[in-house]
Amino acid sequence: MQTSLEEKLPNWFISLCEIVSTLSQLTMTKPFRLSLFALLFGCSIASARTSPNIILFLVDDMGLMDTSVPMLADQEGKPKRHPLNDWYRTPNMERLAKQGIRLSQFYAQSVCSPTRASIMTGQNSARHRITQFIAPEKRNNGPKGWRWEGLTQKDVTLPLLLRKQGYHTIFAGKAHFAPTGFEGEDPTKLGFDINIAGCSFGQPGSYYGEDGYGNLDPKRKKRAVPGLEKYHKTDVFLSEAITLEAKDAIDQSLKNQKPFFLYMSHYAVHSPFNSDPRFAANYKDSKKPKNAQAYATLIEGIDKSLGDLMDHVASKGEAENTLILFVGDNGSDAPLGPVHGYSSSVPLRGKKGTCYEGGMRVPFIAGWAKPGKKNTFPIARDSLHNDQIGTVMDLYSTILETAGVKNPSGHVVDGVSLLKQLSGRGNSDRPDHFMCHFPHSHRSSNFTAFRKGDWKLIYRYKGQTKYELYDLQKDPFETNNLAESESKKLKEMTKTMIARLEKEGALYPSEGDKELKPLLP
């Protein structure tokens, strides 16, 4: 990219350099001229030359076990396969995992919109106050002051900061940042240069091109995916259509000699569980129910998308210069059994929307599209990092550090950059806590789940059982509630959780007019 950018320097500037060069007998090489220009006229060209491309590959409702890559560790910290790893087929995730690092204990919020707002702002949901999923057509229920109207142009957002630094910012897929009629429903109002198929809702009317992704079926029109008209009445599956458009957008960035930030946000694997005909044969002989088979085809479809994007950047000579961060937005919703039991994320407990580990643990894999000398920082290879947690809040700081962008002063963030952890060395400064605060009704209702070190506290604001306490080191699958037997630890954890909630400015549920603040045991 360097030579072509040099060619973009204005002729008058090159002539001026030549005159100065002659007068001062100072040799001005091409890179020197480029740096001087960048120094004098702002840093965007310099950043365009040195900043890696970034693909944030976000899969809707993809839990930790929805993959053939073993994400859980055994007691020694080694990867351990479980039956679900043998059910799903994700060869491209395996490929990325082999050339990168995965975090075994990576946390998202238990539902979509809170996680998505955390990625955009670097803040925890208790702080940004988008604590529940956004209902596209109405104000979803919650405490007074919760931000049911979603993100607005007043918010500091990740793409906005990257765009200022010279990045071409591409949004593709499910947005779900704000309800219909509010400015945040359009990703281009939040810092993206391009919006491919993003809007206020999070569930597509249909994954089928034959249905126009909901546009051609009156019953599905309410959730008709916008902007993919050229694939209507074709057999192109939604995940494929978004990928093809994303590849075109990447080409546009490269043509304009800009690094790109691709927020590749698949609608899949959210319901409706439409079977993807490209992969259906791989599951048809199993004894699993039809909708579970369809779910597995959705997983395989996003995996193909990942591989296609890796191949595409390689074909453009950009693979060593492209960072890929693969992540899910909340726990699995695989139709495999009871919500609070051992089902969609087994051996983890619970599924999407619950306070248990299966509700909020998601796959995270980071790697260069190709490891090599041009990588701007090292990422451990074929490695499972199990010593420390990571969270969706960390993505903001990680991406900013990758791009060489400073977080604006005054904007509080709760995440930290993951670059040290990605190297495989660990980061002794990173916080060891994660908090999922959910003052709403849903599958699990009105709770705060607070992980600190090996311990996890689940606090319920309403109902009989207020406290659940688990030692995740000894009991990673949350089978043995120690709230009564470990009363000292329970008190300590509750105290720390309350301090954290207050620090982040949390809003609490209420009963009648009474606000239900958390209570010490």
For Ca ion, the closer of residues 259 and 328 by Cβ is 328
Q: Tell which residue, 345, 302, 299, 360, has the closest CA to residue 111.
A: 360
- Minimum CB–partner distance for residue 330 and Ca ion (Å): 5
Give CA–CA dist 303/492, Å, rounded.
43
Nearer to Ca ion, 61 or 300 (CB): 61
Tracing tokens 């702080």 back to the chain, one arrives at 127
Please state, in angstroms and rounded to a whole number, the distance separating the CA atoms of residues 435 and 452. 9
Query: Is the peptide bond prior to 339 cis by the omega test (within 30 degrees of 0)?
Result: no
Residue with Cβ nearer Ca ion (250 or 436): 436
Q: Rounded to whole angstroms, how far apart are CA atoms 11 and 15?
A: 6
On whether the CB atoms of residues 85 and 67 are closer than 8 A, the answer is yes
Q: Which two tokens stand for residue 36?
A: 């001087």
155 binds Ca ion (CB under 5 A): no
Q: Which of 155, 329, 394, 478 binds Ca ion (CB under 5 A)?
A: 329
Residue in 9, 61, 123, 386 binding Ca ion, rule: CB under 5 A: 61
Residues 70-99, interacting with Ca ion (CB under 5 A): none
DSSP 3-state of 401: helix
Residue 46 or 225: which CB sits closer to Ca ion? 225
Find the shortest distance in angstroms from Cβ 100 to Ca ion: 23
CA dihedral 95, 96, 102, 106 (to 10 degrees): -120
- As given in the structure block, the two tokens for residue 122 are 């670097």
- Span of 58-66, 139-147, 437-445, 462-470 interacting with Ca ion by CB under 5 A: 58-66
Considering beta carbons, is residue 61 or 186 the nearer one to Ca ion?
A: 61
* Tokens, residue 485: 């037997």
Q: Does 110 bind Ca ion (CB under 5 A)?
A: no
Number of residues that bind Ca ion (CB under 5 A): 5
Q: How far apart are CA 288 and CA 277, in angstroms?
A: 17
Three-state SS at 427? coil
Binding characters for Ca ion, 275-314, by CB under 5 A (x = yes): ----------------------------------------
**Quick count: other Cβ atoms within 10 Å of Cβ 171?**
27
Question: Least separation, in Å, of the C-beta of 81 and Ca ion?
Answer: 25
Q: Binding Ca ion by CB under 5 A: which of 239, 330, 354, 386?
A: 330
* 3-class secondary-structure state, position 159: helix
Residue of minimal Cβ distance to Ca ion: 112
Q: Among the residues of 216-257, which ranges form H helices?
A: 238-255
Between 357 and 468, whose beta carbon lies closer to Ca ion? 357
Nearer to Ca ion, 114 or 367 (CB): 114
DSSP string, 262-290: EEEEE-TTSSS----TTTGGGTTTSSS-H
Sign of CA dihedral 480, 483, 484, 486: positive
Buried b / exposed e along 69-103 (16+ C-beta atoms within 10 A) = bbbbbeeeeebbebebbebbbbebbebbbebbbbb
**Residue 342 identity (one-letter amino acid):** Y
- Minimum distance, C-beta of residue 174 to Ca ion, in the bound complex (Å): 8
Please identify, using beta-carbon distances, which residue of 329 and 394 lies nearer to Ca ion.
329
Q: How far is the CB of 333 from Ca ion (least distance, A)?
A: 8
Please name the amino acid found at residue 436: C
Amino acid at 125: S
Q: Length of the chain in residues, anyone?
A: 521
Q: How far is the CB of 203 from Ca ion (least distance, A)?
A: 9
Exactly one of 9, 72, 112, 469 binds Ca ion (CB under 5 A); that residue is 112
Rounded CA-CA distance 345/414 in Å is: 27
CB 62 to Ca ion: min, Å: 8
CA torsion 44-193-210-239 (nearest 10°) is 50
Q: How far is the CB of 90 from Ca ion (least distance, A)?
A: 18
Select 173 or 415, whichever has its Cβ closest to Ca ion. 173
CA 330 to chain centre: 9
Options 30-38, 54-62, 296-304, 494-502: segment touching Ca ion (CB under 5 A): 54-62
360 vs 498, beta carbon nearer Ca ion? 360
Interface segment toward Ca ion; rule CB under 5 A; list 257-265, 327-335, 361-369, 465-473:
327-335
Q: How far is the CB of 142 from Ca ion (least distance, A)?
A: 17
Tell which residue, 197, 186, 131, 199, has the closest CA to residue 159: 186
Please identify, using beta-carbon distances, which residue of 166 and 359 lies nearer to Ca ion: 359
Q: Binding residue for Ca ion (CB under 5 A) from 54, 55, 59, 60?
A: 60
Q: CB nearer to Ca ion: give 52 or 358.
A: 358
Stretch that binds Ca ion, among 142-150, 322-330, 390-398, 504-512 (CB under 5 A): 322-330
Which range, of 139-147, 191-199, 324-332, 473-481, touches Ca ion by CB under 5 A?
A: 324-332
Q: How far apart are CA 166 and CA 382, in angstroms?
A: 32
Residues that bind Ca ion (CB under 5 A): 60-61, 112, 329-330
